[in-house]
Structures are given as C-alpha cells and as structure tokens.
Chains A and B, each alone.
Chain A
Amino acid sequence: MATTPNKPAAAGKPDAGKQSQKGFVYLPLIAGWLVPGAGHFLLGKWIRGTLLAVSIIAMFVLGLAMQGKLYTSAQDILDMLGMAGDLGNGLLFFVSRAMGLGGQPVETTVADYGTKFIVVAGLLNIIAAVDAHNLRTGRKAS
C-alpha cells in the first residue's frame, strides 16, 4: 500500500518527514499563539482552525463580557499563574490590555467565572498552537 509524504508519522519511515521539515518549523506555533487557529490555517486545516478560533475567541470574549479580570501584574504565585494563562491568548491579551479592557476589580461571582474563562482560553490556545506545531513537524499524523 502506497503512503503519501504528507503522512510521515503514519508511515513511520525515516525519510518520510522530510517533506514537512522545510521552512521555518516554528511558524505555525508562533502564529497559533498570536492568533487562535492561525497555526492550523497555515497548514491548510481550515475547519479545525475555524473551530479552534471560534472556541478560543468566544471563550475570551465571554470572559471579558462577564467582567473578568486581565492579569496585569504578578504580585504572588497565583497572579503569576493567572498571568501565564492570560499570556497564552497572544494578541487578544495585548490588544485588550491596550484598549483598557479587563481592568476592573472582581466583585461578583460571575466576574470570577469570567476571569477563569480568560485564563483557560489562553491555556487552550497554547494547546492548539502546540498541536499545530506537532502537525507541522509530523509528530501528529493528520
């Protein structure tokens, strides 16, 4: 049975992944971090990229709409972890901060949910970006 060069992990041959190693390997990872779904778009995975983008952006926007907080400084370990999660949103985080969104203190339960939505959106975006990188390097078959 013939195998295509675009499925190196499935083929399991030493030279099968050379096709996917050309160019800057980390581009889908960086693009996927900066813009949710962009890493998959670069690889031609349009449906997956769209679903990832919609899910992550919707989660981020809902978090802000619930008056969730964007972490702007790291005073203690919890703030550091929250900031790390927020940074996973890439440009969404920086643009929102530049627009002054998410600056109000958390005073309601819903606002606390919103803060968690924003942090988890960032963590999910990191997972999606790493998935794009794995597709690019051939570690993930398809």
Chain B
Amino acid sequence: MIHPSHFAAVVLFSLFASTVFGITMRDTPRRMVRYGAYCFILFVGSAIVLSWVMFVIAR
C-alpha cells in the first residue's frame, strides 16, 4: 500500500499518460518526445493552475 501525495499522483499520472500519448499520436521519435513533453507540461501546469484557482475561490 502506497500513499502518494496529490501532487506526486498528478506527476506519475502525467508521466505515464504523456508517454503513451507521445508514442501513439506522432510519427517520428523527435515529434513523439516533443509532444509527450508538451502533454506532460500541460497536465502538470493545468493541475497547478487549477489548484491555485480553487485555493483562491475557497478563501
């Protein structure tokens, strides 16, 4: 049984999902890496932004 923090869970989820997205959605290795990195940044970035939005709304 493991207990990752919310942020650790987001990073792990983003890492694995971005890997699959990158490989399956693009044709060449270079474009796969770029698209995977793009998805990873969007996943984690949107989670951070939405977290701050919810923090501000909850105050």
Contacts and interface: CB of A to CB of B under 8 A. Distances in A.
Contacts of A131: 23-24
Nearest to A131: B24
Interface of B: 1-4, 6, 9, 12-13, 15-17, 19-21, 23-24, 27-28
B4 A142 contact: no
A100 to B, nearest CB: 15
A11 interface: no
Given A52-B23, A55-B20, A120-B17, 13 more contacts: A52-B19, A55-B19, A56-B20, A58-B16, A59-B13, A62-B2, A66-B9, A67-B1, A117-B9, A121-B16, A124-B17, A128-B24, A141-B27
Interface of B is mostly: helix
Is chain A's interface secondary structure helix, strand, loop, or mixed overall? helix
A117 B1 contact: no
Interface string A36-68: 000000000000100110011011001001110
